[in-house]
Structure 1
Amino acid sequence: MTVRPLWVGLAAALALAVLPLVANPYLLFVGNQLSIFVILAVGLNLLVGYCGQLAFAHAALFGIGAYGTALLKVHLGVPFAVSLPCGALLATAVGLAISLPALRLSGLYLSLATLAFAQFTLWVFLHWEPVTFGAGGFRVPAPSWPIPGVTAGIGTFYLALALAVLLTLAAASLVRSRLGRAMIAVRDGEVAAQALGVDLLRTKAMAFGLSAFYAGVAGGLQALMLGYVAPESFDLFHMALMKAMIVVGGLGSIAGSVVGAGAVLFLLEGLRAFKGAQEIAFGALLMGAVILAPRGLAGLLDRLPGWQERYLRAAPAERAPAAAVPREAPP
C-alpha cells in the first residue's frame, strides 16, 4: 500500500485543528508554536536542502518579520490583516538583497557573510531604541477577530495552522516545478547547472526570497501569538534550533521539515525546566542525527514500505544525473 506524505500531513493537521476544543492553554501554545516552527523549517529547507545555500540569516529574517508586523501595529496602528503580509514582504525584500552576494560567495564564505548579517540585525534590534524599543522589547496588542466567540489565542492558532498547511503544500508543489528542479541542479553542481542553462542569479534569488518570506510569515505569527517581541527571540541559539529542525528532519525533504520541527519543539518543551541543558541536548541531537541518520528522520521514513516522497536529498551515488534537469531557454 502506498503511503503519501501529503495525506499523512493533512490528517495530522485535521487532528491538530480540534486541539482548541480539548486542550488547556499550554497545549494550545505548543500547537501554535508547532505551526510556526513548521513554516520556519520548510522555508529554511527550500534554501539549504533544495538549493544548497548554507546561510545563517534565517533567525534574523524571522525577527524582521516579527518586528515589521508588530511595529506597524504599535507605531502606526496598522491592522494585523495588513501588517502581517507587510512584515513578510519586508523580510522577503531583505532576503532578496542577501541573495546578491550569494552569487559570488558559497560554502563557508556565504555562511560567514550571512552570520555577520544576522549579528548586525540583532544589533539593530537592540540599539535602535526609538523604533525597536531596545533590549527590553515591547508588548503587541492582541488581535481582534470578527467572528463572535473567537478569542485572540484561538484565532491566532487557526490562522497559524492554516498558513502552515498552505505554505507546506505550496513548497511541496514548488519542488516539483521547473524552479524546484533548477534549485536542485544548483545544489548538486553550480557549474553543471549553469552549463545546462539554469540562471544562477534568478534561482538563488528566488530561493533566498522564498525562504525569507516563510521566515517573515512565521515571525509575524510569533508576534501575534506571544503578544510580545524582544531581541533574544532571534539570536544564534534560535538559528541553531532552525538548523537542527532540517538536519534532524532531513535535508531536501518537505516531510522531514515537518517531522524535524515537531521533534525539536517537543525536545525544547521537555527541557524547559532545564535551561542550562538545552544546548547540550541539541548538540547531542545534531551529532546523533549526523552519525546515525545522515538523511534525517525523512531517510528513515523513506525506508517504510510504501512511503513515497519525491526529491528527498539523496546520497551522492543516488543522485540523478545532471542531464535529467531540463534545460532552460537561453535569454
Structure 2
Amino acid sequence: MRIGAAKESYAADAALFDTPTQRAWATILAVLLVAFPFAANEYWLYLACLVAINIASAAGLNLLTGYTGLVSLGQAAFMGIGAYTVAVLQARFNLHFLPNLLAGGAAAMLCGILVGLPSLRVKGLYLAIATIAAGVLAHFIFSHWTAVTGGTGGLTVKPAQAFGIDLDNSFRFYWLVVPVTVLLLVGVANLMRTRIGRAFIAIRDRDISAEVLGIRLLPYKLLSFAISSFYAGVAGGLFAYFFRAITPESFPLVMSIFFLAAVIVGGMGTVLGSILGAVFMTLVPEVLKLVMGWLPISGNTALYLSPVRTIVFGALIVLFLIFEPHGLAELWHRLRRTFHLWPFRT
C-alpha cells in the first residue's frame, strides 16, 4: 500500500518501474522497438543500429563520469580493445558472438582497471590527460602489433550468426544490438539502486567525505572504471560486427570527445541522459545533412557550405552548455513536470 508518493519498503523504493503508468510506457516503447525494423528502410535501420552502439558506450562513460565524477577521454580506446578482441577471436576460433562480446568486454575491463589506478592520486583534468595517454598507447599497439591487429590495414570481421543465420545487414543486426543495449541500460539503472551505485554517487559529490564515512575510494573507483570499460568493450565488439572491418583509425581521440559530449549534452548522472545524448550526437549531423541536401543549391555551393553543418552542430552543443548545463534529460523532466501540473501551473 502506498501513501502518496512514499513507499513502505526498500524493495518498492528500489524498483525500476514503480507505477503502472511507467510500466505501460515501458511496454509501449518495447512494442515500438519491435515494430520499428518492419517499418523503416535500410538507411534508418543503419542509423538505429549505430545509435544503439553509441548508447551502449555512452552509458558506460556516463557511469564513470556522470555517476562517479571521473573524467575519461579513453572511451574510444576501450572500444578499440573490445573490437580487436572480437575480431581476433572470430577470425582464429570462429566463436559464437556472445562469448566474443563478453571476451571483448572483459579485455577492455582489465585495461580499464590499469588505466584507473592513477585515479586515487589524480582527478579532473589530470585524470583526463592520463586517459588520453592510454588512448595514444592503445592506438600505437593497434598500429604496430601487426601479427595480431593487422597493423594499419586492420582486420575484417565475419558477420555474427544467430541460429545459423548471418546477421549481415542492418535489419538482422538490429535484433542483436538493440537487446544487448537494453540489457546494458537496465544494468546501469539497477546498479545505481544498489550500495555500489550509491557509493559511486557519494564519491562524485564529495570523495573525502565519502572516505570518512567508510567508502574505500580506490576499490570503488577501479570498479567504476572496470564496469565503464566493459560497456565500452561490448560496444566496440558490436561496432566490429556492424561495420565488419576495423582499423586503428576507427577509434580516434575524436570519438572519445564525441562520447563525452554526448554525456554532457544528454545529462550527466542519468540513464536517460545517455540515451538522449547519444541520439542527439548521432542524428543531428544526419538531419543537418538532409537539410543541406534539400536546399536548392548547386554542387559547388554545397561543397563550400559543407562546413556549415559542423559549425551549426558545434553551436548547438555550446548553446546547451550555456542555457541548459544539465542537458536534455533535464529538459525532459521539466516537460513532464509541466504536464503534471497542467492546467494549474502559473
1:246 touches 1:257 (CA, 8 Å); kept in 2?
Answer: yes
**1:320 paired residue number:** none
2:257 is the counterpart of 1:226: no
* Residue in structure 1 matched with residue 274 of structure 2 by the alignment: 257
CA contact under 8 A between 2:87 and 2:155: conserved in structure 1?
A: no
Q: Deviations over 1:149-171 (max 9, x none)?
A: 97654342111111111111111
In structure 2, distance between residues paired with 1:3 and 1:291: 36
Consecutive unaligned residues in structure 1, runs of 5 or more: 308-331
* Residues 270 and 137 (structure 1), Cα distance of their counterparts in 2 relative to 1, 3 Å cut: farther
Q: CA RMSD in A?
A: 2.5
Counterparts of 1:26 and 1:72, CA distance in 2: 30
Q: Distance in 1 between matches of 2:36 and 2:336?
A: 30
In the alignment, the residues of structure 2 paired with residue 145 and residue 258 of structure 1 have an alpha-carbon distance, to the nearest angstrom, of 26
Q: 1:14: which partner in 2? A: 31
Q: TM-score, normalised by structure 2?
A: 0.82
CA distance in 1, matches of 2:197, 2:38: 38
1:300 matched to 2:317: no
Cα gap change, 1:244 to 1:118, in 2 (>3 Å) = same
**With structure 1 as the length reference, what TM-score do the two structures score?**
0.85
Residues 159 and 166, structure 2, Cα contact 8 Å, conserved in 1: no
Q: Which runs of 5+ in 2 are unaligned?
A: 6-18, 291-304, 339-346
For 1:104 and 1:7, the matched residues in 2 are separated by 46
Q: How many equivalent residue pairs?
A: 308
Match of 1:326 in 2: none
Give yes or no for contact 1:39–1:214 (8 Å, CA) kept in 2.
yes
Cα distance in 2 for partners of 1:275, 1:140 equals 32
Deviation per residue, 1:285-313 (Å, 9 max, x gap): 33111101110011111212449xxxxxx
2:52 corresponds, among 17, 21, 35, to 35
Matches within 5 A, 1:284-295: 284-295=315-326
Q: Please list, as runs of the form range in 1=range in 2, the aligned pairs for 1:185-200 lying within 5 A after superposition.
A: 185-200=202-217
Q: Is the 8 A contact 1:37 1:261 kept in 2?
A: yes
Deviation of 1:282 (Å): 4.2
Identity across the alignment (%): 37
Q: Does the 8 Å CA contact 1:13/1:165 hold for their aligned counterparts?
A: no
User: Structure 1 residue 100 and structure 2 residue 117: aligned?
Assistant: yes
**Deviations 1:225-256, CA, capped at 9 Å, x for gaps:** 11111222210111111011111100111111
| Residue type at the aligned position of 2:31 | L
Residue in 1 that maps onto 2:151: 134
Q: SS where residue 258 of structure 1 aligns?
A: helix
User: 1:144 aligned to 2:175?
Assistant: no
